[in-house]
Amino acid sequence: GEDVEQSLFLSVREGDSSVINCTYTDSSSTYLYWYKQEPGAGLQLLTYIFSNMDMKQDQRLTVLLNKKDKHLSLRIADTQTGDSAIYFCAESVSASGTYKYIFGTGTRLKVLA
């Protein structure tokens, strides 16, 4: 079945790098996404990676994809207190033309000053 798993919590010190991990099950996913959600807010798209890539860098964000192991990670360099939020990974699952997203449970990142 479709399932996306993430660890629940991560705590880092300001200025350190954060690495948030995710595993997914649908090997046919075309795109994989990282979203950020701050308290009481909607989802903000951070970055995404196409399934035929193994790495994508976007300023402080680096996404690594291991398609064989169905493992996705998000690295945030020089983590700031403003990065404190819940981070969701999502896989895009295509069925009969519907590209619905399957989300993980989210990783709560806490950045300590």
Partner 1 sequence: DTGVSQDPRHKITKRGQNVTFRCDPISEHNRLYWYRQTLGQGPEFLTYFQNEAQLEKSRLLSDRFSAERPKGSFSTLEIQRTEQGDSAMYLCASSALADEQFFGPGTRLTVL
1 contributes a contact to partner 1 by CB under 8 A: no
109 contributes a contact to partner 1 by CB under 8 A: no
67 contributes a contact to partner 1 by CB under 8 A: no
Query: CA torsion sign, 79 to 74 to 21 to 102?
Result: positive
Are residues 54 and 66 in contact, defined by beta-carbon separation less than 8 angstroms? yes
102 contributes a contact to partner 1 by CB under 8 A: yes
28 contributes a contact to partner 1 by CB under 8 A: no
- CA-nearest of 111, 113, 99, 104 to 35 is 104
Pick from 41, 57, 78, 80 the residue near partner 1 by CB under 8 A.
41
57 contributes a contact to partner 1 by CB under 8 A: no
Task: Supply the DSSP symbol for 27.
Answer: T
* Residue 21 CB burial class (10 angstroms; 0-12, 13-18, ≥19): middle
CB 111 → partner 1: shortest distance, Å? 20
38 contributes a contact to partner 1 by CB under 8 A: no
7 contributes a contact to partner 1 by CB under 8 A: no
How many residues are recorded in the chain? 113
The residue assigned the tokens 């990065």 is 83
Kindly list the residues in this chain that would bind partner 1 in the complex (CB under 8 A). 4, 30-31, 35, 41-45, 48, 88, 90, 92, 94-106
